[in-house]
Chains A and B, each alone.
Chain A
Amino acid sequence: MHRRTAIRNLALIIGGAALLPACMQEKGKATVALKNVDINAEQETLVGDIAETIIPKTNTPGAKDLDLHLFVLKMLDDCYKKEEQQSFMTGMAQFTDAVKKKYNKTFADLPVKQREEMLLGIEADKDPKSTALPKELKTFYGIIKGQTVNGYTNSKYFMTKQVVYELVPGRYNARFPYKQKQSA
């Protein structure tokens, strides 16, 4: 990877909200430079829509605000084996087909309720022996789910605004009182 590209990717991932000038984005290409997997703009949008369904924007930022989908793609590109990357791509096509078959629409055109229904359907197919859904589709979704949550819970936003984080705690309190938060 070229140094400049690497820095740009880092800025995207670390900065979270860093915005790219529109001129840097070629039409039809993904916004994130990848070495090992070939993702086009439409596919990037799909990954973004799935990540956003998992971690939606509520009164706090969602997956797209935090560029979690770009983190998912970065992890896919650097940290997964070739076979897993291939399964991801195959699974993506299977996912697109399954959505089309079930709703006769693209995932992008589905309302939130149906997007959630689609993903929960995959979540429900837990048994590794089950053949209800193709295994590549489950790999595709599993990688997005795992890395979206990884990226979210390790984001600066989450760690500093949603939970308590100090780089230097300076102390260990072995009996810290905890009260369950009232969920919004």
Chain B
Amino acid sequence: MSANTYDAIVIGSGISGGWAAKELTEKGLKTIMLERGRNIEHIKDYVNANKDPWEFPHRGGRTQKMIDDYPVLKRDYPLNEVNLDYWASDKDSPYTETKRFDWFRGYHVGGRSLMWGRQSYRWADVDFEANLKDGIAVDWPIRYKDIAPWYSYAEKFAGISGNKDGLAILPDGDFMPPMDMNVVEKDVAKRLKDHYKEARDMIIGRTANITVPHNNRTNCQYRNKCWLGCPFGAYFSTQSATLPAAMATGNLTVRPWSIVTKILYDKDTRKAKGVEVLDAETNQTYEYFAKIVFVNASTINSAWILMNSATDVWEGGLGSSSGELGHNLMDHHLGVGASGRYEGFEDKYYFGRRANGFYIPRFANLGGDKRDFIRGFGYQGGASREGWSRDIAELNVGGAFKDALTEPGSWQVGMGGFGETLPYHENKVTLDKTRKDKWGLPVVAIDAELKDNEKKMRIAMEAEGKAMLEAAGVKDVQTHSTNPFLGRGIHEMGTARMGRDPKTSVLNEWNQVWDAKNVFVTDGSAMTSAACQNPSLTYMALTARAANYAVEALKKNEI
């Protein structure tokens, strides 16, 4: 066995890559995890995590230099002073936007598991059955019962706090104790339940922040600084959870600065034999070999690797025989919501910075609800007291103004929708061979847009948000509907979808590439539809399930 030979290769170290590494190493496989960017060591490298707000020269804001350096990241909230180092350089790694697509990336060990939003929801049968019932795209090859035990498995290890709300649309999981809603959120939730006669719910967010100590991790300290990296390991990330578990087996090797340029495909065995790596620091090329390859490079980059692989056999790359590789790109569309002022509870506040909010699960097109679009949307939001904003002319400068700055303003309630995007064949990524990145590699071209179904849904998202807040007694309700573009949900999905038929899907029910059975793709690219729930928990469950299958199949010499 040569120095570059392992039992398994995992490409990528984010949420799903970390899970693949943990599962495969715990089952005894010598595994190498390849990460294209630098290493970030747990706690030690969270350089800003213990800084106070006044220690940032621009108090967290963005400078003109940052805006010039990050032409894509500047389009939304991720561009900021506090965790700038966690976002990939738009200039080193450009991409072509045939249509606008806001692609926010994390190129380092841990990937976006360091900066993710942590909201963790199970899907329900209505989500897995949706394509079949609507007669669009292809049917999911699995149902809720196939993934339910793996949801439990993922939740128990990751640590998901949440309430068992008993909702059919949002199955309960194996939760840690929930975080609290504040007084106003509780009141709004009750009023909504009454007004909509229990057909709509507002629940505390289910989040991958632990509320009790777990696996040598300290419970959440309510700092709300998660995306700086947590010195307490209180939220799930590769660094806090899967990486230490994988390292503890003694079976894991992590290689940062390793850009996987292709999967090496063996025509005779019709399997992958390894991968080719470009060292991002030295520009040297290496080959690594293994019995199985897990592709977890994130939806668009996983498609990029597959499209670059086995092109002597299939012009469109490994997994392209169906004609679906790179197609069906989805995201959750957002930027639509409502907010207003809540009167009352002036004698109440909250203490601590809760890294969580409320969640309103999908209600559209469920039960008796019928719309002029298919599928639905959920909302995330919160209630808080704003700072000084009372506009009293004579109090706008001077000592009285200064005093007033210490007084909390009125309660505000706000929420934003997350809408399901349908899988459209024509929403796609392709290779743009006319353009190269810093390493001379061809870039991707992204060609995707919202269509009629999403546009109609956005109108409803705005109107329902207003209607619900008003029904809950919220005053001066304002709505917003901005930037109808894909990508900014940072929930890319679908470029190597699972299915039941190799003619119409890239992966089978076990996330195996139909055209190379020892290649498993278990990140967002595997998703056959998008639902409207945050998807990462589903990636975790799919990855653990696929890894279990892969090891069993290896034992039986099936792959």
Partner of B222, one of A54, A116, A169: A169
With a cutoff of 8 Å between Cβ atoms, the chain A residues found around residue B394 in the complex are: 120
Complex CA–CA separation, A163 to B401 (angstroms): 15
Q: Which of B53-67 contact A (CB under 8 A)?
A: 53-55, 57-59, 61-65
Type the 1/0 row for A31-74, where 1 means its CB is closer than 8 Å to any CB of B.
00000000000000000000001111010101000000000001
Binds A, one of B241-249, B286-294, B405-413: B405-413
Partner of B63, one of A54, A78, A169: A78
Inter-subunit contact A75/B58 (CB<8 Å): yes
Give the bracket for the number of chain A residues in contact with chain B: 35 or more
Partner of B61, one of A75, A120, A159, A177: A75
With a cutoff of 8 Å between Cβ atoms, the chain A residues found around residue B166 in the complex are: none
Question: Smallest CB–CB gap between B523 and chain A, Å?
Answer: 32
| Residue B399 interfacial (CB < 8 Å) | yes
- Tally inter-chain residue pairs, CB-CB below 8 A: 134
> Contacts A78-B65, A174-B181, A176-B348 given: A151-B398 contact, CB under 8 Å?
no
With a cutoff of 8 Å between Cβ atoms, the chain B residues found around residue A143 in the complex are: none
Type the 1/0 row for B248-271, where 1 means its CB is closer than 8 Å to any CB of A.
000000000000000000000000
| Residue A19 interfacial (CB < 8 Å) | no
Type the 1/0 row for A135-170, where 1 means its CB is closer than 8 Å to any CB of B.
000000000010001111111101100111101111
Inter-subunit contact B64/A168 (CB<8 Å): no
Binds A, one of B119-127, B351-359, B450-458: B351-359
The chain A residue sitting closest to B225, CB to CB, is A167
Complex CA–CA separation, A173 to B181 (angstroms): 9
Question: Smallest CB–CB gap between B226 and chain A, Å?
Answer: 13
Partner of B393, one of A14, A123, A151, A155: A123
Inter-subunit contact B399/A56 (CB<8 Å): yes
Partner of A180, one of B183, B399, B407: B407
| Residue A10 interfacial (CB < 8 Å) | yes
Q: Which of B323-362 contact A (CB under 8 A)?
A: 346-354
> Contacts A172-B180, A175-B182 given: A124-B393 contact, CB under 8 Å?
yes
Inter-subunit contact A169/B221 (CB<8 Å): yes
| Residue B396 interfacial (CB < 8 Å) | yes
Inter-subunit contact A56/B398 (CB<8 Å): yes
Type the 1/0 row for B406-438, where 1 means its CB is closer than 8 Å to any CB of A.
111000000000000000000000000000000
| Residue B92 interfacial (CB < 8 Å) | no
Inter-subunit contact A183/B404 (CB<8 Å): yes
| Residue A119 interfacial (CB < 8 Å) | yes
The chain B residue sitting closest to A150, CB to CB, is B59
| Residue A27 interfacial (CB < 8 Å) | no
Inter-subunit contact A116/B398 (CB<8 Å): yes
Complex CA–CA separation, A32 to B346 (angstroms): 42
20 sample A-B contacts, Cβ–Cβ < 8 Å, listed by A number: A14-B57, A54-B397, A62-B402, A112-B398, A116-B398, A119-B396, A119-B397, A151-B59, A152-B402, A155-B54, A156-B54, A162-B406, A171-B222, A172-B222, A173-B350, A173-B351, A174-B182, A176-B350, A177-B349, A178-B408
**Which residues on B are within 8 Å of A, measured CB to CB?**
50, 52-55, 57-59, 61-65, 179-183, 186, 221-223, 346-354, 387, 393-394, 396-408
- Inter-chain pairs besides A177-B348, A177-B349, 6 sampled, C-beta below 8 Å: A150-B59, A172-B180, A175-B183, A176-B348, A178-B408, A181-B403
Closest 4 A/B residue pairs (Cβ): A172-B352, A174-B180, A169-B352, A178-B349
